[in-house]
């Protein structure tokens, strides 16, 4: 028999046991099909167990009756890649999806039928017949990949934000969701889990509700600083009132939350900027928000987006959301980078590393955490309270985790020296050694944590993973905290009563009893570069870039010179091209040197007028790479202006709204062009746009290309 999936009121279940996966959104139709497998491996290496994906109607049937499942639209090929990599799938079928897509994903011809009398997003038979025909073609692609067939698809989402952004409300809305669900099942979309987005009064039609939360709101129509964000506060409130606030819908939910686990499908893995509002989400934003959700009782971390991409080329129009199509926001025509953990062209970001810390932890300890209740203390801390330390505890009466968050995006928080954290247990409280919690810090510590035969009473460090090695189990922790009074040990017991310390750890670890586990402790910076691999036994790899295992070999991406550290020592044959070059503590150091084949770049101004500045970028390759074979050339573009467009000949290949960030461009993604044109449009000093970082102005405007650098990436 295969694996069984389900849920109870507190958590998801896998084979009847609590399960706490991490899910990441990737839109196959917004990325090159030849690179899907590489990206799915990056997601899996980052600890993602489920990939969620919109099936976007306008990408597949832009012209009525003309279906396209080729190239980047090849859903069957994407599901095959998921099966090959070994990653589970949630299909988000729509038919309306939002997703910053033109018409929310409806083809123009569907929208026109809506103007002609067909009641869209309702039980109107004319509308349902269109959906059925479309879903039947989608099912032809998905057939054989559903869970009951031994495939990776374990979940189906019906509609999106239904009754929150368009559609019917109340019982009529609930009935429509039930109608769509019954239709999907009748067509053949049978899966263990069926979900619906549940925020802002959305209808769920008896489905499993999934929630969201973003660290800012680029769709908000204001061009000023927003109020402090509630997603950085521990709370029993699941609804994020900011989502789609441009549609002015309510803050309520339509279901009894006590009947369902707290699942998220749209934690912002970043933010997609709009023309009028351009906040930049960073790793700490997403890390702190994720900690707040974990401490608030979440039982699924689902990130939207986890993988950025590019809108495909339309036959009849561009395919982005825009004011011209009736929406409140203008978005880039092509660029859907989202500042996601994996960026537009497959590079990994600081957010990838932050999310990986939690994903690796959840793979080992998530089952225990999922079944634990949350106790928020103090409850109802306001987001604009920058003085109170935000705390929560998740516990089962015997053991648990204490969560703290002293981070509020774009605000300074009070420091909290000598803080004594406490965990809840049946006997009362477990006290930690005093610790200083500074502005911008967030995390969690375990108490009464079983590590094999040992029991860790308290730790001022965070568990990352377990390594099952030939020498036994090693438990990996990370953190930079030390007790306020070094060597003090547990505040409840003296050293003679069994709390003890590890040599040099200054009571970071307090043990219950005399049995000790083997601990490998990293700094937080080291942990951000840590990746767990399995090659007969488990290994921990420290590397600045992406590392994964494939067919018994360690694969690494990096520059011309790449250094990695491994514990335990790797088999010599597993790391071709690397040489062992030393020892650092328990880690063996390996180095790879490659001839520097960095291309040369020459930039010249073509023309400048009041409307734009045009530049030519000439690339001279010493040796052209092969993106599919793991060699790529990247441009990093700095500019000052309102927006930028990049052309290969007459074809626009990317665009970007100015945020103050460097813009990466994979030349391998486009077949290594030798000449590009970059067009920069002016940003006026008094433009009605929100920017966190404004460029330097000259005569009240900015319109220039500031620089282009080039780097090589090797696998």
- pLDDT of amino acid 490: 53
Stretch 12-28: mean pLDDT: 98
d(Cα 695, Cα 151) in Å, to the nearest integer? 50
Confidence check: pLDDT of 318 > 50: yes
d(Cα 575, Cα 592) in Å, to the nearest integer? 10
Confidence check: pLDDT of 503 > 60: no
Confidence check: pLDDT of 244 > 70: no
Confidence check: pLDDT of 495 > 80: no
pLDDT tens for 348-378 read 999 999 999 999 999 999 999 999 999 998 8
- pLDDT of amino acid 501: 47
Per domain, the residue ranges of the chain are 19-366, 374-526, 547-593, 600-714
Stretch 422-439: mean pLDDT: 94
pLDDT tens for 28-55 read 999 999 999 999 999 999 999 999 999 9
Stretch 190-217: mean pLDDT: 97
- pLDDT of amino acid 507: 79
Residue range 600-714, CATH number: 2.60.120.260
d(Cα 463, Cα 476) in Å, to the nearest integer? 6
Confidence check: pLDDT of 560 > 70: yes
- Residue 494 or residue 126, greater confidence: 126
Instruction: Reply yes or no on domain 374-526 having CATH 2.102.20.
Output: yes
- pLDDT of amino acid 626: 87
Going through 271-349 in order, the beta strands assigned E by DSSP cover 277-278, 301-304, 309-310, 335-336
The angle formed by the CA atoms of residues 324, 328 and 331, to the nearest 5 degrees, is 70
d(Cα 358, Cα 294) in Å, to the nearest integer? 10
- pLDDT of amino acid 506: 53
d(Cα 61, Cα 137) in Å, to the nearest integer? 10
Topology of domain 19-366, per CATH? TIM Barrel (3.20.20)
Q: What percent of the chain has pLDDT over 70?
A: 96
- pLDDT of amino acid 504: 41
- pLDDT of amino acid 251: 59
Name the burial class of residue 613, with classes exposed (0-12), middle (13-18) and buried (19+) by CB atoms within 10 angstroms of its CB: buried
Confidence check: pLDDT of 577 > 90: no
- pLDDT of amino acid 245: 61
State the residue for tokens 């970082």.
Answer: 693
Three-state secondary-structure class, residue 491: coil
Distances in Å between the Cα of 454 and the Cα atoms of 241, 399, 401, 432, 519 are 44, 13, 17, 18, 11
Spatial neighbors of 698 by CB under 8 A, at least 6 apart, are: none
- pLDDT of amino acid 487: 42
- pLDDT of amino acid 380: 83
- pLDDT of amino acid 712: 92
d(Cα 428, Cα 384) in Å, to the nearest integer? 31
Q: What percent of the chain has pLDDT over 90?
A: 87
Confidence check: pLDDT of 317 > 50: yes
Residue 53 β-bridge partners: 91
Confidence of residue 427 (pLDDT cuts 50, 70, 90): confident
The Cβ of residue 230 has, within 10 Å, a number of other Cβ atoms equal to 18
Three-state secondary-structure class, residue 663: strand
Confidence of residue 494 (pLDDT cuts 50, 70, 90): very low
């Amino acid at each position: 028999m295969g694996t069984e999936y389900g849920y109870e009121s507190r958590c998801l279940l896998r084979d009847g046991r609590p399960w706490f996966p991490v899910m990441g959104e990737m839109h196959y139709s917004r990325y090159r099909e030849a690179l899907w497998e590489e990206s799915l491996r990056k997601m899996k290496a980052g600890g993602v167990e489920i990939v969620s994906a919109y099936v976007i109607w306008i990408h597949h049937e832009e012209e009525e009756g003309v279906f396209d499942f080729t190239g980047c639209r090849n859903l069957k090929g994407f599901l095959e890649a998921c099966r090959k990599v070994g990653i589970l799938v949630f299909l988000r079928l729509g038919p309306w999806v939002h997703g910053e897509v033109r018409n929310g994903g409806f083809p123009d011809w569907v929208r026109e039928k809506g103007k002609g009398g067909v009641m869209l997003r309702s039980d109107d038979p004319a509308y349902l017949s269109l959906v059925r025909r479309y879903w039947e073609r989608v099912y032809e692609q998905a057939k054989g990949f559903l869970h009951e067939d031994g495939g990776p698809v374990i979940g189906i989402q019906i509609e999106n934000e239904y009754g929150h952004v368009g559609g019917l409300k109340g019982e009529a809305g609930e009935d429509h969701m039930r109608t769509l669900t019954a239709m999907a099942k009748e067509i053949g979309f049978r899966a263990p889990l069926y979900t619906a987005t549940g925020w802002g009064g959305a209808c769920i039609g008896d489905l499993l509700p999934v929630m969201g939360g973003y660290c800012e709101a680029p769709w908000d129509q204001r061009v000023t600083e927003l109020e402090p964000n509630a997603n950085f506060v521990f709370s029993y409130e699941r609804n994020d009132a900011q989502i789609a606030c441009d549609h002015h819908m309510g803050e309520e939910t339509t279901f009894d939350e006590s009947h369902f686990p707290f699942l998220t499908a749209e934690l912002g893995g970043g933010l997609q900027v709009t023309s009028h509002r351009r906040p930049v989400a960073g790793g700490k934003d997403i890390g702190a928000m994720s900690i707040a959700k974990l401490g608030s009782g979440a039982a699924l971390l689902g990130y939207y987006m986890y993988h950025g991409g590019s809108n495909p080329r339309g036959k009849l129009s561009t395919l982005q959301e825009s004011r011209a199509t009736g929406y409140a926001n203008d978005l880039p025509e092509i660029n859907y980078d989202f500042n996601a953990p994996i960026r537009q062209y497959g590079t990994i970001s600081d957010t990838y590393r932050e999310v990986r810390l939690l994903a690796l932890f959840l793979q080992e300890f998530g089952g225990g955490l999922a079944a634990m209740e949350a106790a928020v203390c103090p409850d109802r801390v306001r987001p604009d309270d920058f003085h109170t330390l935000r705390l929560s505890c998740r516990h089962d009466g015997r053991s648990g985790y204490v969560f703290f968050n002293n981070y509020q995006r774009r605000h300074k928080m009070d420091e909290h020296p000598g803080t004594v954290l406490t965990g809840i247990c049946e006997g009362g409280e477990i006290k930690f050694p005093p610790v200083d919690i500074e502005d911008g810090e967030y995390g969690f510590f375990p108490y009464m944590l079983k590590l094999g035969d040992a029991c860790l009473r308290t730790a001022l460090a965070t568990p990352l993973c377990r390594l099952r090695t030939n020498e036994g189990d090693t438990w990996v922790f990370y953190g930079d905290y030390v007790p306020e009074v070094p060597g003090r040990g547990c505040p409840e017991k003296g050293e003679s009563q069994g709390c003890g310390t590890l040599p040099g750890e200054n009571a970071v670890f307090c043990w219950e009893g005399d049995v000790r586990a083997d601990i490998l402790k990293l700094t937080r910076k080291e942990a951000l570069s840590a990746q767990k691999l399995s090659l007969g036994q488990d290994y921990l790899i420290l590397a600045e870039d992406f590392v994964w295992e494939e067919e018994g070999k360690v694969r690494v991406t990096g520059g011309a010179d790449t250094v990695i550290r491994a514990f335990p020592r790797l088999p010599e044959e597993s790391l071709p091209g690397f040489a062992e070059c030393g020892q650092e503590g328990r880690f063996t150091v390996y180095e790879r040197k490659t001839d520097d084949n960095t291309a040369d770049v020459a930039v010249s101004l073509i023309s400048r007028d009041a409307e734009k500045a045009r530049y030519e970028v000439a690339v001279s390759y010493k040796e052209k790479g092969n993106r599919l074979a793991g060699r790529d050339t990247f441009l990093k573009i700095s500019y000052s202006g309102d927006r930028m467009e990049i052309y290969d000949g007459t074809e626009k290949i990317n665009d970007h709204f100015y945020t103050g960030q460097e813009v990466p461009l994979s030349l391998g993604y486009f077949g290594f062009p030798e000449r590009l044109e970059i067009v920069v449009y002016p940003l006026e000093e008094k433009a009605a746009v929100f920017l966190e970082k404004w460029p330097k102005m000259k005569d009240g405007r900015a319109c220039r290309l500031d620089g282009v650098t080039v780097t090589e990436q090797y696998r």
